[in-house]
Amino acid sequence: MPQITILLATYNGARYIEAQLASLAAQTHKDWRLLVSDDGSTDATLAIVRAFASRVSQPVEISRGPGRGASANFMRMAADPQVGGDYFAFCDQDDVWYPRKLERALEWLRPIGMSRPAVYGARTRLVDADGRPTGFSHRFRRAPSFGNALAQSIAGGNTMLLNRGAKQLFEAAGPLDVVSHDWWLYQLVAGAGGVILYDPEPCLDYRQHGQNAIGGNRTLRARLKRSRMAIAGGFRAWNDTNMAALQRSRHLLTPEACSKLDAYERMRSSKLADRVGAFAGSGIRRQSVLGDIGLFCAAVLGKV
């Protein structure tokens, strides 16, 4: 039975972490170990983790995180060659996993093997701070691709399971500064010619409580916030960060992905009169027609 290394990033998560840990213990796939990287919690988070470790038979290890936020914490663990295992799962401190989360993800990934980079991601059910359901994350219908990965992320890191090949890509790229570890994983694996698997069935309850690093994007308030960010140039700043990381990692990408990356860079730096043609030829697309329209408008306005 393959061993799954669960990477849990924590910081002052005492309010919700017991429910998350209980859902790990309830997994139908039992061969896992838990690596906890804590960013300096001052509440009872670590005491709760240690109590959990004393109750379960699986190994639980605790280390000190980089102290630069959840994404940097996950990046450090994923890029560390000393972190071994067959498969690897990102774990947030405030969700609740469904019992077959790991088992189902393995069923999708195991036919691919270990050497070719592959990552599984899924939808989530959104719940409020008290665990009451409020809806679901978007269901994406277009096939995953590097062109899509340049424009958006399609699965949260809390749903992801990656094989050893994808983990080795992380290690080869190193702990770069990126917008988010899950978006980076989508870009890196797709760009390297790996396999991206998107499961339309939710695999966990994604708790929305106002302190999420990213949070869902289903409410009108969340969408207005994203729209204001785009108008203010926030997405362009995100792209600047991701593009710098991709350029530093282009030796890991396929020639086709490098060409698409260069086309995207040209579109972003073109003069207004040239952006329409550059966008059409770039092959960069989002997961919906409305998303494409928004991306086109942002490109014309120089906001990507």
What is the pLDDT averaged over residues 224-252?
A: 79
State yes or no: pLDDT of 64 exceeds 80.
Answer: yes
Q: Which is more confidently placed, 282 or 240?
A: 240
The dihedrals phi and psi of 61, each to the nearest 5 degrees, come to: -120, 145
The whole-angstrom separation of Cα 36 and Cα 278 is 44
Share of the chain above pLDDT 70, in %: 92
Q: Which residues pair with 35 in a beta bridge?
A: 7, 61
Is residue 42 classed exposed, middle or buried when 0-12, 13-18 and 19+ CB atoms within 10 A define those classes? exposed
Residue 218: its pLDDT value, please?
52
The answer to whether the CB of 34 falls within 8 A of the CB of 24 is yes
Instruction: Reply yes or no on whether the pLDDT at 120 is more than 90.
Output: yes
Distances 221 to 137, 155, 211, 226, 301 between C-alpha atoms, Å: 15, 21, 15, 9, 23
Asked if the model's pLDDT at residue 173 lies above 90, the reply is yes
Q: What is the mean pLDDT of the chain?
A: 91
Span 56-76, average pLDDT: 96
Band of pLDDT at residue 228, cut at 50, 70 and 90: low
Query: Greatest CA span in the chain, whole angstroms?
Result: 64
Domains of the chain and any CATH numbers = 4-207 (3.90.550.10), 220-300 (no CATH)
Cα–Cα distance, 184 to 71 (Å, whole number)? 10
pLDDT tens digits, residue range 260-289?
999 888 888 877 777 777 777 778 889 998
What CA–CA distance (Å, rounded) separates 133 from 249? 40
pLDDT at 229 (0 to 100): 53
Instruction: Note the pLDDT of residue 230.
Output: 52
Mean pLDDT for 126-146 is 94
Mean pLDDT (whole number) for 37-46? 97
